[in-house]
Amino acid sequence: MREPGTEIEIQDLSVRYDEGDQTVLALDRISLTVRRNEFVCVMGPSGCGKTTLLYVIAGIVRPSSGTVLVEGEPVDRPGPDRAVVFQEDAVFPWMTVEQNIGYSLRMRGRPKDEIRAVVDRHVELVGLQEFRRAWPRQLSGGMKKRVDLARGYAANPKVLLMDEPFGALDIETKERLQEELHSLWLVAPRTIVFITHDLEEALFLGDRVILLSPRPGRIAETYVPDLDQQRDMSIKGSARFVALSTELRGKLKSFNVDVDAGAS
């Protein structure tokens, strides 16, 4: 039976990649339920199957076995109910900020008034009012990321899937974007599955942090950070945050892989 408020249900999901005579078991019997408007971070070292998991939910990769349901419907292809934000920004260089943000609505043939209203709201949500007519080449990396987030949100999907979206940013910009995404999610709640190999990022953003262990990718641990809802980077100095990150770091070390191996 599906609980009311359940958005994503993953049951016994396994993904095997076959390459010639080599087989990689990328995910091994993953079961996970995500509630509506929950912010779930999936974290783990490089190669543990994070992107594979996200791509299965997105409908880009087919499971070898098991099922994925979004609002009770089996996922078998990409769809407008799921938007993906990748590490590389996917801003169209030939469109202005506002054209980028309104793209999905234009594609769906929505009326001009509606597009304008949605673009106005989302330009404001990510603080790009002064840049709405700017071209992507005029924007910093952080600003392009804001356009990406706004575009994902403006498409009004049920689920936002993010694969290390801040992985290529410098640390100051990354932390600012983490604070902004958290605030954005508080004012505009949405079901988010956020992939990262950065444990502090996961603890800062997640309602729940799912730790994957590598080879094969399995759920090793689940953490509920339970931090103050209104938070900024200063929370990283709190006893709770320090204890959680120490625990998570220890767990990662026990996997015996290079924890800071970087995104992939």
Strands (E), 36-187: 39-43, 65-70, 73-74, 82-85, 159-163
Nearer to ligand ADP, 136 or 216 (CB): 216
CA distance 196 to 193: 10
Find the shortest distance in angstroms from Cβ 88 to ligand ADP: 14
Using the rule CB under 6 A, is 165 a contact of ligand ADP?
no
Q: Using CB under 6 A, which of the segments 50-58, 174-182, 226-234, 235-243 binds ligand ADP?
A: 50-58
Using the rule CB under 5 A, is 52 a contact of Mg ion?
no
Using the rule CB under 6 A, is 17 a contact of ligand ADP?
yes
Question: What is the per-residue DSSP string for 26-56?
Answer: EEEEEEEEEETT-EEEEE--TTSSHHHHHHH
CA gyration radius for the chain? 18
Using the rule CB under 5 A, is 196 a contact of Mg ion?
no
Partner from Mg ion, ligand ADP, none binding residue 24, C-beta < 5-8 Å depending on class: ligand ADP
3-state SS class at 195: strand
Q: Using CB under 5 A, which of the segments 51-59, 118-126, 181-189, 234-242 binds Mg ion?
A: 51-59
Q: Other C-beta atoms within 10 Å of 181: how many?
A: 25
Nearer to ligand ADP, 102 or 167 (CB): 167
Nearer to ligand ADP, 65 or 129 (CB): 65
Nearer to Mg ion, 50 or 82 (CB): 50
Find the shortest distance in angstroms from Cβ 114 to Mg ion: 35
Using the rule CB under 6 A, is 220 a contact of ligand ADP?
no
Which tokens in the block code for residue 196?
Answer: 């990262």
Residues 19-38 close enough to bind ligand ADP by CB under 6 A: 19, 24, 26
CA distance 237 to 112: 47
Q: Other C-beta atoms within 10 Å of 207: how many?
A: 18
Nearer to Mg ion, 67 or 264 (CB): 264
Yes or no: say if 241 and 51 are a contact pair by the CB < 8 Å rule.
Answer: no
Nearer to ligand ADP, 191 or 196 (CB): 196
Buried b (16+ CB within 10 A) or exposed e, 97-117: bbbbbbbbbeeeeeeeeebee
Using the rule CB under 5 A, is 6 a contact of Mg ion?
no
- Contact partners, residue 75, CB within 8 Å, separation at least 6: 56, 57, 58, 59, 68, 69, 82
Using the rule CB under 6 A, is 105 a contact of ligand ADP?
no
Residue 163 CA to chain centroid, in angstroms? 5
Find the shortest distance in angstroms from Cβ 45 to ligand ADP: 7
Q: Using CB under 5 A, which of the segments 42-50, 119-127, 203-211, 234-242 binds Mg ion?
A: 42-50
Chain contacts with ligand ADP (rule: CB under 6 A) = 17, 19, 24, 26, 44, 46-52, 264
